Structure 1
């Protein structure tokens, strides 16, 4: 590119340098030394101007511009230099083309403010706004030689102003629609500047409000002291709050008393001086009248209120009792869970010791077995604590209801006492059911104890189990699916219930027992369990003649596993050196579990946490099975299993836990994995591990 040596061009900015450096010899302008004086003059003015300035020269409007204007074309700079306006502004020529035509052909000046121009920037059409002027550059004979352009983008200002206007409109709408009566008063004369429709409705239609003083608009309030109160607020700058204040108003030509709550809040100018008062009022006439009526109610109403308060206090007390029960349940569950870990250590140690002693020392074995029996009793107590704490989920299995009731006869007899005769009748053809045996036992025991309480002088308790076929009509009444059901009835010869009590007996918190004798939750839990098991409970009672509860539970479908079969797997089997990784944060339990597995013939590695287990596997250790606790500090057993499955979908995982709830309480359990409940015997451990390894071998 040939640089011009035109000495007449004054300026050292970017565009001055670009213009000098441009090869004008092949351009319609020709060499710069040959440029006409008019062009030289206006170009010098543009280059030395602080305003964004452009010159469109000649009939085809060739473009020259200064540094400040170079930001206007953005990515079209510097290619726009020397180009035709119609080529530079192809995207907006439909708007600016006629404006240039008016200047070029009619010598008119064009000024545009907030002009919308949709300009392409980066290949995207943007909505932009501009302030600019287009003026003719005239020759000596009055001929238009070009167009002188100055201007700048105002998009941000326009959009901000538009947003402010929208916000003002929103505020105006909110003000107009506000439920409270609102007015703004200005100056010591309290002239209305603003009043919303709610305010105008409150004072009634007036000929003129805005621009007039309160004393002129509402002359009737002057003698009532409201104007003096406004003056006091204005002078002291202290707000005033009025509550249930009567005011006499001339509403639509009629004198009327209204009762209002209101606020007088002083407003301040930019200098911090009080310049007016913000008024907000609420018409509470109806509420005030209602309160007056309430004040004149008779003593009967006061008694009703007292009864309602008593009910509320009673409900609060019941709620407090439930919360206390929940707190005790949480504490009990936590203690029982930790106790399970300790029992697991004791039982594992005793199992290992018994295996090692064999039958050589009968006395030692007898002592070990006694200790094991005590530990198992403690474990059973722990499970009962966990059940109370509701840490056990339902574990439905195939149950023979006749056998279950028969097995409970001795337990129920001890619970209800000798003064009550118990009679058990079972149908040998009764169908098996699918239910949580423990929860069913608890439900029957609950019903038996309630029956005992209904027979303080003694009586008889009859438990009957039979099979019933329930058709569609009866099923609709019971809200169950038609089919074969086992019916377990618990019938007493006690005091019975009145219809009123019978209608509430399944309601939570309802009890007829003395305070402290029951929570009122027992029967609501029973019906909840039965209905969760897809069954129903029916109450038949008559005051003075006894009560019968009938539990209907549907027949178990083929293929369901009995509780006994689900628990007992193949006998303990020895390992053959398979690699077992034990993950347990309790050091003693981790050690004894590992030792028990070594005793069974497995190769064992242990880890105190999920993170360390993953690190061990990452280092190259490949276990055939991972035995992990569920609740651990840091990473849980569920999280560890999920990460193992993500690393190797075939990972073999067995969970161990203090309570079954752990196995299903996490949302990220990767699959249904085997579970060993703590505390466990070495035989249960051996069986579970053996089955899990055999299952993996079958799938591989």
Structure 2
């Protein structure tokens, strides 16, 4: 329906061209189209109709209803519907259940029943400009319920005859005994329902059994009923039934079909279930306490490292200020270099922490791991030193993996450095790649889902690890190295990267027997990308017509971004939050690129602003700048066409170069 609304000739309707619609009309139409519930918008005094996909079946084969007056579409029922809609236009919302309505939609007049709500729609000034019809057709349910009530008397006598020979067991059993029709209507229950669930027979017979089932268990019950209709007995399936006092009891059911009915016996095992849940809760508390111990290590190490880095940055700035006042500008370079170095180290530490928490920004691509290893082989050999022999064993038929190349390089280097430190007297380091098709058992051993994976393993002949070290190897800030020789974030970073990529890391080691570290990544069915480094002939220059809107709530960063872009010749607009940025976009000012932080104050985040801007400007390019990528904003590491992401902090020259080449790319 969204496509049909956009393609419709609205200039021929009272609403006018779609480009001239008011903000209230646009927002209301979008709300209607996005709803999974049947909805129809009646706009203005003409009652011009715009509806969603869920509403279409209600219309039947009515000719070309989109954009017509609601009064014309439902002329056969207007005498009854018109007064209700007029009340909504006066500000009175109306909710009516099972409302009888004559409708002509399949070539003949039929009597249908609907449950609906007519709600007034207000514009930005508070004036009522339309009505939303939210409706569900209840014809089938209404007719079925009416027919069921008429059959109740005959059912009672029929069920009495069928249960005469089972009356003794029926009366004495402490388990729930149920006879129900295949459509779920309760035909008969035994007295245990009263003692277990508090319901008397007259309160349940003739009603739907599913009305008593807990909402989370409805799917299981529907599947069970479907199987019973096919003649398949159901054994030991669990569900919760509502007690008369509003609580729920866990019932273990066995059911068989027979004579067109469902015959079931249920045992109340609520006490056993609660005991099992209490045990599970205790286990979760234990796991949580273990996790909090790791968090304690994380915060302690984080405070220590960041205090050192902030001290370096603050000290460099103070020395810069002192030397400027003294006029000794020839010494400024080393303080600037010291501050930049501390900033880069702080950014690297932040990225490692984000990797452990699985909130880093990844750019996964189809990757040839053999090619990646080959490209790093010389670096690894130099890093290992002359005492360690490096061997590469590559599977020539290696599948393509799907992973972030930079993080994969970091992971491989981290593995190799750990192996080097485990072989102080020299040894052999082997890098091995392979393919794996893991069934349920093999995948479970590795903590993975069944499927196809590519592995990258680093094998050393070093000192090995005891079991207690392996168990804590991925904990943040855990290290066996002497103080000052390791942060303990290396393997935790690799673990976070692997899990965020849909893979896993595995350690196999024994003291004195060396160590094998394997990284498993999901297979990509396709060819790896060919990455070519762009050759920039000269520094990028802005075209005079290029305009950029910058939205960021951090005033210092926003000031720096605006100034550096203006120095490059761009026309720059700025905003401090989502609503003010959206106002600039809606003002009609020319904008070639939107640069926005992801987390913004004012009720609109960066992704919401970008999506709203794309509604008005479909070809607008968007660059998100963020300290981390939230799945709700980016979505599984993927961005819409014409959108890119840049992680803070970033170097200003790289930032300007990124923008220049982004603007030159063709619009999506």
TM-score by length of 1: 0.40
Q: Which one has a bigger Cα radius of gyration?
A: 1
TM-score by length of 2: 0.42
